[in-house]
């Protein structure tokens, strides 16, 4: 049996180990630990380093055998996590040796999808972010220059040069306001007010650009996932590309656990469902409930007729669904009468099976 699974550390364990290591690194900078406690803390660091050395072995094997996902970024992080503390141990003085374990800050990034998402957002929004950063630089330098001109005679110790005034400008522009440098003249105070307001605007722009970037990226990912789900429903394979894109945008994915009720008899129905995976059970009046599986749809009767739901539908297994709301169904009907006709005919056939009265 291969020893590799024993060397594998889950992402959660990786994060916990890194957090424990970094807490120890921080603790070792505090002067109030005796030699015994310091030795114990350093022992913890050595233990974590040992685990990371094993992890590096696993990553190296994966790289060589192409077995499992071990991209270069993962290998680089694993390598740095072992080599940098080792270099610290060999090269730094005893007081600073443990600081090199600070490299373990990178460990939680190994598999993080969030940081990959952040990277994509920042690279897509780069031109706008650079624009706002330039604006920040322009306002910063302009404010420093004007503050220098206004305040240099009154407070030469604080505004005696543009770099000195720049510290005031950064603190004011970011609305941090340490209060160590305060304009004394009226003109200086008016300038401070303007700089503060510009700062709020610039930070709002940064936040807005990033928030929009995140929203668009998540929507893009949803679109790709929905695309795959919609492609799995045979009914939609007839659609032309434009109609397919339209339907991908309209359908909303949903996963229902086994046993949960999806819609109840007598309820108002404003949506119908397509089954991507799993099975649903329909409580019809017939002695045995009807079961539907992947590719089938249900909930169309109430949607078309406007009448209450004709039966209770529940998930027989965990089921992956795509729901289509009535306004989107109208859109589908007008752009793709052929599909709408199939759905209508199925509804009629099912209605025909229901007992009259
Ligand atoms: P609706 O009435 O909106 O909600 C319950 C759904 O169960 C219904 O639409 C149909 O999609 C489905 N349904 C009802 N009766 C049958 C049947 N006999 N066979 C298959 N599906 C049914």
Ligand 1 centroid, distance to 352 Cα (angstroms)? 11
Q: What percent of the chain has pLDDT over 90?
A: 70
The Å distance, Cα 355 to ligand 1 centre, comes to: 13
CA of 134 to the centre of ligand 1 (A): 60
Nearest CA to ligand 1 atom 19: 350
Domain shared by 88 and 173, yes or no: no
How much distance in Å is there from the Cα of 298 to the middle of ligand 1?
Answer: 6
Query: Which CATH number goes with the domain that contains 298?
Result: 2.60.120.10
Residue 178 falls within a domain, yes or no?
yes
> Distance from CA of residue 266 to its chain's centroid?
39
Q: Is the CB of 283 under 6 A from ligand 1?
A: no
Probe ligand 1: pick from 269, 301, 304, 321, max atoms within 8 Å of CB?
A: 301
Q: Which atom of ligand 1 is nearest to the CA of 272?
A: 3
The Cα–Cα gap between 220 and 196 comes to 36
Range of the structural domain that residue 141 is part of: 126-216
Q: Is residue 116 assigned to a domain?
A: no
Q: Per residue in 244-282, pLDDT tens?
A: 888 888 888 999 999 999 999 999 999 999 999 999 999
274 lines ligand 1 (CB under 6 A): no
In a domain, 100, yes or no: yes
**pLDDT > 70? residue 230:** yes
Pick the residue whose CA is nearest to atom 9 on ligand 1. 299
Q: Are residues 246 and 347 part of one domain?
A: yes
| pLDDT score of 5 more than 70 | no
| Same-domain status, 204 and 298 | no
Around Cβ 159, how many Cβ atoms within 10 Å? 24
Do 104 and 14 fall within a single domain?
yes
Q: How many whole angstroms from 351 Cα to the centroid of ligand 1?
A: 8
Q: Considering the domain boundaries, does residue 120 fall inside one?
A: no
Domain boundary among 216, 231, 264: 216
Residue nearest (by alpha carbon) to ligand 1 atom 16:
350
Q: Looking at the structure, tell me whether residues 94 and 147 fall in a common domain.
A: no
144 assigned to some structural domain:
yes
What is the distance in A from the centroid of ligand 1 to the CA of 301?
A: 6
**Which of 183, 216, 249 is where one domain is finished?**
216
Position 65 pLDDT exceeds 80: no
pLDDT at 67: 55
> How far apart (Å, rounded) are the C-alpha atoms in residues 93 and 33?
18
Q: pLDDT band for position 1 (50/70/90)?
A: very low
Same domain, 10 and 87: yes
Q: Measured from the CB, is residue 88 less than 6 Å from ligand 1?
A: no
In a domain, 229, yes or no: no
Does the beta carbon of 324 lie inside 6 Å of ligand 1?
Answer: no
Backbone angles phi, psi at 312, to 5 degrees: -90, 130
Residue 207 has a pLDDT of 97
Q: Note whether 273 and 346 are same-domain residues.
A: yes
* Alpha carbon of 61 to ligand 1 centroid (Å): 54
State residue 257 phi and psi, 5-degree precision: -70, 155
Cα–ligand 1 centroid distance for 322 (angstroms): 16
Report the CATH number that the domain containing residue 136 is assigned in CATH.
1.10.287.70
C-alpha pair distances (Å), 147 with each of 164, 167, 197, 324: 10, 11, 16, 60
Residue 19 lies in a domain: yes
For the CA of 269, the closest atom of ligand 1 is 3
Instruction: Note whether 15 and 100 are same-domain residues.
Output: yes
pLDDT-derived band at 243 (thresholds 50, 70, 90) equals: confident
The token pair that represents 33 in the structure block: 């630990």
The per-residue pLDDT for 357 is: 44
CATH number at residue 88: 1.20.120.540
Residues 30 and 80 in one domain: yes
Q: How many domains does the chain have?
A: 3
Q: Is 304 in the pocket of ligand 1 (CB under 6 A)?
A: no
Ligand 1 atom with the shortest distance to the CA of 353: 18
Same domain, 72 and 167: no
According to the model, what pLDDT value does residue 10 have? 83
Looking at 183, 201, 216, the residue that finishes a domain is 216
Rounded distance from Cα 283 to ligand 1 centre (Å): 9
pLDDT for res 355: 57
Binning pLDDT at 50, 70 and 90, where does residue 7 land? Answer: low
Q: Are 284 and 355 in contact (CB under 8 A)?
A: no
Which of 285, 292, 350, 354 has most ligand 1 atoms within 8 Å of its beta carbon, as the pocket-test mutant? 350
Same domain, residue pair 106 and 180: no
233 occurs within a structural domain: no
Residue 309 in contact with ligand 1 by CB distance below 6 A: yes
The residue-averaged pLDDT of 166-191 equals 95
Q: Are residues 106 and 135 in the same domain?
A: no
């Amino acid at each position: 049996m291969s020893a590799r699974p024993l060397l594998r550390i889950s992402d959660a364990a990786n994060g916990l180990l890194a957090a424990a290591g970094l807490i120890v690194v921080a603790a070792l900078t505090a002067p109030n630990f005796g030699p015994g406690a310091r030795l114990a803390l350093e022992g913890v660091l050595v233990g974590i380093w040992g685990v990371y050395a094993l992890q590096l072995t696993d990553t190296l094997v994966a790289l060589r055998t192409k077995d499992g996902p071990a991209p270069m970024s993962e290998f680089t992080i694993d390598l740095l996590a072992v080599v940098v503390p080792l270099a610290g141990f060999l090269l730094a003085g005893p007081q600073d040796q443990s600081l090199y374990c600070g490299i373990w800050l990178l460990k939680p990034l190994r598999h993080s999808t969030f940081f990959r998402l952040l990277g994509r957002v920042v690279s897509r929004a780069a031109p706008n972010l650079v624009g706002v950063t330039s604006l920040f630089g322009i306002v910063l330098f302009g404010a420093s220059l004007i503050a220098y001109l206004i305040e240099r005679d009154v407070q030469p110790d604080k505004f005696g040069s543009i770099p000195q005034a720049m510290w005031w400008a950064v603190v004011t522009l970011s609305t941090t306001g340490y209060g160590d440098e305060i304009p004394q003249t009226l003109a200086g105070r008016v300038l401070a007010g303007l700089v503060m307001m510009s700062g709020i605007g610039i930070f709002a722009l940064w936040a807005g650009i990033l928030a929009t970037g995140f929203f668009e990226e998540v929507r893009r990912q949803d679109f790709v996932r929905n695309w795959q789900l919609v492609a799995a429903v045979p009914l939609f394979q007839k659609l032309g590309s434009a109609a397919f894109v339209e339907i991908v945008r309209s359908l909303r994915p949903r996963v229902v656990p086994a046993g949960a009720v999806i819609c109840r008899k007598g309820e108002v129905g404003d949506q119908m469902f397509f089954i991507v995976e799993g099975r649903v059970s329909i409580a019809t009046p017939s002695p045995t409930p009807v079961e539907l599986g992947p590719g089938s749809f249900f909930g169309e009767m109430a949607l078309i007729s406007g009448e209450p739901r004709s039966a209770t539908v529940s998930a027989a297994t965990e089921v992956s669904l795509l729901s289509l709301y009535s306004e989107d169904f109208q859109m589908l009907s007008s752009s793709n009468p052929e599909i709408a006709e199939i759905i209508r005919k199925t509804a009629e056939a099912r209605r025909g099976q229901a007992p009259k009265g």
